[in-house]
Structure 1
Amino acid sequence: MEQFEQTWRWYGLTDPVSLNDVKQAGATGIVSALHHIPNGEVWSVEEIQTRKSIIEKAGLRWSVVESVPVHEDIKRQSGNFKTYIENYKQTLINLGECGIDTVCYNFMPVVDWTRTNLDYPFKDGSTCLGYSKWDMAAFELYLLKRPGAIETYSKTEIEKAKKHFDNLSELQKKQITDSIIAGLPGSSKGYEIDEKFALENFQKLLDSYNDINVDRMKEHLYYFLSEITPAAEKSGVRLCIHPDDPPFFILGLPRVMSTAKDVRDLFRNVDHPNNGLTFCTGSFGAREDNDLIEMVKEFGFRIHFVHLRATKRDDEGSFYEADHLDGDIDMFGVMKALIEEQNRRKLNGRSDLRMPFRPDHGHRMLHDLKTKGNPGYMEIGRLRGLAELRGLELGIRKSMIS
């Protein structure tokens, strides 16, 4: 019986979750990156092979690179962006030479992802990642004091944000700030915020996008892809962009991959099979207007990698990460649509049948509540998620052939 490749994100030798732990969880593929190489520099064949050998010695496969970071100069088309694009091409060529064929990346400016609480209390005693509209508003308006932020909120929202801010303790204010800045590449080590990193420097990074609106940001994305996709094709590498996380405007920054229309625009402007999508149910699912099942049906032919997690929204723009089979995500419907896409690929003679997926994030639970690790990437919560998703996939597949 055909199955999706079950993968697991691994941060390298410093990851508290070992490769042996991953094997015991039942995953066969590893999703990893060379985080020690500064953004914009070439990943050499030697560095790639070193990581690949470590993974293979554990009896696993380096299935997906997540991520080869896109330098901010490329996103802004400023400074040395052409040099960084050439470096990106060479990295893709080197990855292809090493037999790694799937590269996930994102085009989010400044922050790779944003949450306001890295230990949101869940109803069963575990904790999860959470995003509060009011924590963000308090941060923007009264902690960061971002210029122009006040214009993005209504009078009623500003009053509510001020009341929320006044009720926050100093510890809570620090936790919100630390949580938001944790998504900034290179700003932290082990997600512990460097005390020397000032909010003023964060604001300077935001300011560097002041003259870049959504249309211009999309043009920069399409230019970047038009430059690197030929190298990806030549190297046998499939590119798959990760959606914005969260998929709506924050911090005054342009967002270009939040809706079905954004994906449609991307594929229309760079129409190439190697230009694909990382289908993240958690990111897309944080918007009520994203119909995930229909998106799989429309864009399935270009889905090269899958992140499966669930979010639970409220009516104001906040959300938290629920259990993998719970929340607002119809995981049954999404999984069934993905299986149907895989079956179509088989009938059409396509070679990209494995469609790697990973349990995206997981609750901090059981003994992980007493240990440190990367937010969302603790061991037991993801183990539970993978087991649930594996069972869901198997049940759907058996029902489809009975």
Structure 2
Amino acid sequence: MLETWRWYGPFDKITLGEVAQTGARGIVNALHEIPYGEVWSREAIAKRAEEIRGAGFEWSVVESLPIHESIKRGDGDLAPLFENYRTSMANLAAEGVHTICYNFMPLLDWTRTDLAAPVKGGGTCLRFEAHRMAAFEIHMLKREGAEDDYPPEVCAKAASWFQQASEADREELLASIMTGMPGAFDRYDVEGLREALKSYEGIGRAELRENYRRFLEEIIPAAEELGIRMCVHPDDPPRDILGLPRIVSDGDDIAWILGAVESAANGLTLCSGSLGANPANDVPAIARQFADRIHFAHLRNVAKDPDGSFEEAAHLGGDTDMVALVRVLLEEEARRRDAGRADHTIPFRPDHGHELLTDIGAGAIPGYPMIGRLRGLAELRGIIAALTS
């Protein structure tokens, strides 16, 4: 397995020189400064690739090549957006980048209510607190019907939190929920989010699936021609939020996606944390079921609470059997190697580390500190060494 490290380019306080000290050989990167829907020019890609390769790395995976909201909603003349996406893919392939991670989450990317929740022994982690999300939806956003999406006890706790929360507490909650995608150009206040949600009125699970099918039908043939592996990232969290449907949350969703356009180019980013936040998901079993279509892996762990809350755990802690999961990935690599595939190696990266020691106060992108992820990489490296010795 290829050790990689997510690096945010000009948005990242961690330098490539520091990343080199982790021992990772691949970089996961994107041109976050380019607005969604616009073409990634070959010149811009080449400049970033030169920076990465000049530091001694390979640009292993693009994460992400974002999908414009109009494609997700299926509105307007989408032909120019699809053409721009295909052009960006062709430019990436021309510069030697052939794995593209993306997601189909409506409006928001990963969502947390706390960016610095304390962890036992010191340090902080990302956390999704069900009652705080409910407080945001019911009392701050005032979304119609939001009460029906949460159990009564969570709604009661949400009301109590909201009554006691200061204006600063509410602003902090909004900022946390809006943090998920560094470089994204849409940052909403409460009123702006209300307006943005109106654009999804009438779009349920079935409609979003059909819009996704159209995206795959437009993009996967180009990926086949270019030798690109597209790999969808699961929803995070794997549940409907803000009244918006999530359609990449479990094994059934993944089966639908991979079957919508049958192609090796239509693949999966196996994110053990996103899938692991759904109590119904057996992550190693999902990995085994779709092993031949896994093109990239995010290896992290979460600890879940009965009310739907969860937080980032240590990579060897949490609710997912990480040893069993890594064994599945190594077995798939061996199968590909035995089949004579030149691309048998699965890139992976540690994900959403705790902020530890000098991470605290260093200003790293939330979830992407130096020491916390280095600890995760070391633990994963140990699993791989033990299973392959």
- Does the 8 A contact of 2:28 with 2:60 survive in 1? yes
* Residue of structure 1 in register with 2:126 after alignment: 129
Alignment of 1:3-402 (within 5 A): 4-183=1-180, 197-398=188-389
- Does the 8 A contact of 1:182 with 1:188 survive in 2? no
Tell me how far apart the structure 1 counterparts of residues 335 and 52 of structure 2 sit (CA, whole Å). 31
Cα distance change of structure 1 residues 185 and 75 upon mapping to structure 2, 3 Å threshold = farther
Structure 2 residue identity aligned to 1:364: E
- SS of the residue corresponding to residue 9 of structure 2 reads coil
- SS of the residue corresponding to residue 228 of structure 1 reads helix
5+ residue gaps, structure 1:
none
Tell me how far apart the structure 2 counterparts of residues 12 and 271 of structure 1 sit (CA, whole Å). 34
- TM-superposed CA distance for 1:156, in Å, is 4.2
Tell me how far apart the structure 2 counterparts of residues 62 and 378 of structure 1 sit (CA, whole Å). 20
Tell me how far apart the structure 1 counterparts of residues 190 and 155 of structure 2 sit (CA, whole Å). 21
Query: Which is further off, 133-142 or 81-90?
Result: 81-90
Tell me how far apart the structure 2 counterparts of residues 213 and 387 of structure 1 sit (CA, whole Å). 42
Runs of 4+ residues over 4 Å off in structure 1: 184-189
Tell me how far apart the structure 2 counterparts of residues 98 and 67 of structure 1 sit (CA, whole Å). 16
Tell me how far apart the structure 2 counterparts of residues 112 and 160 of structure 1 sit (CA, whole Å). 25
- SS of the residue corresponding to residue 306 of structure 1 reads strand
Structure 2 residue identity aligned to 1:100: V
Tell me how far apart the structure 2 counterparts of residues 311 and 188 of structure 1 sit (CA, whole Å). 28
Aligned residues: 389
Structure 1 residue identity aligned to 2:232: I
- Does the 8 A contact of 2:35 with 2:185 survive in 1? no
Deviations 1:20-61 (A, max 9, x none): 111110000000001111110111111110000001111110
Structure 2 residue identity aligned to 1:28: R
Deviations 1:48-106 (A, max 9, x none): 10000001111110000000000000100113422111100111111111111100000
5+ residue gaps, structure 2:
none
Tell me how far apart the structure 1 counterparts of residues 11 and 181 of structure 2 sit (CA, whole Å). 19
Tell me how far apart the structure 2 counterparts of residues 320 and 203 of structure 1 sit (CA, whole Å). 27
What RMSD in Å do the two structures reach over aligned CA positions? Answer: 1.5
Structure 1 residue identity aligned to 2:218: E
Deviations 1:230-254 (A, max 9, x none): 1111111100000000001111001
- SS of the residue corresponding to residue 106 of structure 2 reads coil
- SS of the residue corresponding to residue 119 of structure 1 reads strand
Structure 2 residue identity aligned to 1:354: T
- Does the 8 A contact of 1:111 with 1:185 survive in 2? no
- Does the 8 A contact of 1:112 with 1:185 survive in 2? no
Deviations 1:328-372 (A, max 9, x none): 010000001111111111112222212000001111111111211
- TM-superposed CA distance for 1:186, in Å, is 5.5
Structure 2 residue identity aligned to 1:263: I
Tell me how far apart the structure 1 counterparts of residues 377 and 39 of structure 2 sit (CA, whole Å). 33
Tell me how far apart the structure 1 counterparts of residues 313 and 134 of structure 2 sit (CA, whole Å). 23
Cα distance change of structure 1 residues 222 and 53 upon mapping to structure 2, 3 Å threshold = same
Structure 2 residue identity aligned to 1:6: E
Tell me how far apart the structure 2 counterparts of residues 86 and 188 of structure 1 sit (CA, whole Å). 21
- TM-superposed CA distance for 1:147, in Å, is 2.3
- SS of the residue corresponding to residue 5 of structure 2 reads strand
- Does the 8 A contact of 1:247 with 1:258 survive in 2? yes
**Percent of aligned pairs with the same residue?**
48
- Does the 8 A contact of 2:126 with 2:367 survive in 1? yes
- SS of the residue corresponding to residue 17 of structure 1 reads coil
TM-score, length basis structure 1: 0.94
